[in-house]
């Protein structure tokens, strides 16, 4: 396996850091922290470049908040200058790993995404009798730092680049506590072994794909499952052979155990596709795609909140429009024309 060296000069090149600053501010240009940084942009970038060159760079503290829909998650927002560093790093190392990823992994990749993932999932579901659908239990909080660093070192040998990567990983803030035991563990291993990546970092999303890249190849090349889709920690295997999928589940559990991961005991099930399989907020049937009821309820509550925030002056019409367009684009992935007419023809926004 080829390993790449001498990457750090490309990462800390001023032009790359400047590009990274433009990438980091997309959709956030008018936030106070971005405006402050951009007010002295050249000075800030030169200072950042010097800290990276001297290896005196240290990430700042995260701002955290909880999202509870559709499930409770701790979201961590890194300081803006750190997000610039994340982009500068990813600009150089993503292409190295991207060429090793299989086409069946759809999350956080340019040209892939939810729409293509749902389309492929639907195609497989309608051509197969059975599906083994799995969810990795508390994926981001469970990612093991030692294992992740070992996987990254398989492709990168540049010591300076590894220093920056490990600085980012080591600075991960405390995540939800996960206590799981694996073969060979003593009583203290799950407590003392550092794990967890902050959801919200560009680097975390990328590292999450690296962490399961070998697993993707295992499914395709060793289990010989041709119909396979993964989106972050949700994945599905399709076949007309029920026993093949039942046997695959046992092998999957063993493989994930080597990564110190477990599949969710309730959300991971083997069943007939005619019942309707749920993926990315939609339920896929043989003749139609419906929005999950829970997602629809959450969306109606969000729309109600938008109306209230707009009426009370907390949001401008442009922000409301952007949010609605995003939701409409999501709904368009399913057979939802009548639903969209029902929701949006009666939707009004007024100032008090």
pLDDT of 77 above 90: no
For the chain, the structural domain boundaries read 7-283, 289-346
Residue 313 backbone phi and psi in degrees, to 5 = 80, 10
State the average pLDDT over residues 52-76. 82
Per-residue pLDDT of 192-238, as tens digits, reads 899 999 998 999 999 999 999 999 999 999 999 999 999 999 999 99
∠ CA(24), CA(28), CA(29), 5° rounding?
90
Tokens of 186: 């003593």
Q: Which helix (H) or strand (E) holds 251?
A: helix 242-258
Distances (CA, A) of 112 to 18, 115, 309: 26, 8, 33
Check whether 167 has a pLDDT greater than 90: yes
pLDDT tens digits along 243-285: 999 999 999 999 999 999 999 988 899 999 999 989 988 888 8
């Amino acid at each position: 396996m080829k390993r790449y060296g001498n990457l750090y000069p490309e990462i800390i090149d001023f032009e790359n850091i400047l590009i990274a600053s433009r990438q980091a501010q997309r959709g956030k240009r008018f936030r106070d922290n971005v405006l402050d940084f951009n007010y002295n942009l050249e000075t800030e970038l030169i200072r950042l470049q010097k800290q990276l060159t001297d290896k005196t760079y240290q990430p700042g503290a995260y701002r955290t908040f909880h999202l509870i829909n559709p499930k409770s998650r701790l979201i961590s927002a890194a300081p803006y200058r750190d997000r610039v560093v994340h982009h500068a790093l990813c600009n150089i190392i993503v292409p190295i790993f991207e060429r090793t990823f299989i086409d069946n992994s759809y999350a956080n990749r340019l040209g892939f995404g939810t729409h293509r993932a749902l389309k492929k999932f639907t195609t497989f579901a309608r051509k197969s009798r059975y599906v083994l659908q799995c969810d990795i239990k508390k994926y981001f909080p469970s990612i093991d730092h030692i294992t992740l660093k070992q996987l990254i070192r398989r492709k990168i040998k540049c010591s300076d680049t590894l220093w920056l990567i490990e600085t980012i990983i080591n600075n991960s803030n405390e995540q939800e506590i996960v206590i799981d035991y694996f073969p060979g563990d003593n009583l203290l291993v799950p407590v003392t072994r550092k794990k967890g990546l902050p959801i919200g970092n560009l680097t975390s999303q990328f590292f999450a794909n690296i962490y399961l890249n070998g697993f993707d190849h295992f499914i395709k090349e060793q289990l010989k499952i041709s119909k396979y889709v993964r989106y972050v920690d949700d994945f599905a295997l399709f076949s007309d052979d029920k026993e093949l999928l039942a046997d695959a589940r046992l092998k999957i559990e063993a493989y994930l155990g080597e990564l110190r991961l477990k599949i969710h005991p309730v959300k991971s099930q083997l069943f007939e596709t005619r019942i309707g399989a749920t993926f990315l907020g939609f339920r896929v049937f043989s003749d139609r795609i419906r929005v999950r009821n829970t997602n629809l309820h959450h969306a109606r509550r969000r729309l109600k909140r938008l109306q209230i925030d707009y009426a009370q002056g907390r949001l401008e019409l442009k922000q409301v429009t952007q949010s609605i367009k995003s939701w409409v684009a999501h709904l368009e992935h399913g057979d939802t024309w009548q639903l969209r007419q029902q929701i949006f023809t009666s939707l009004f926004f007024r100032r008090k």
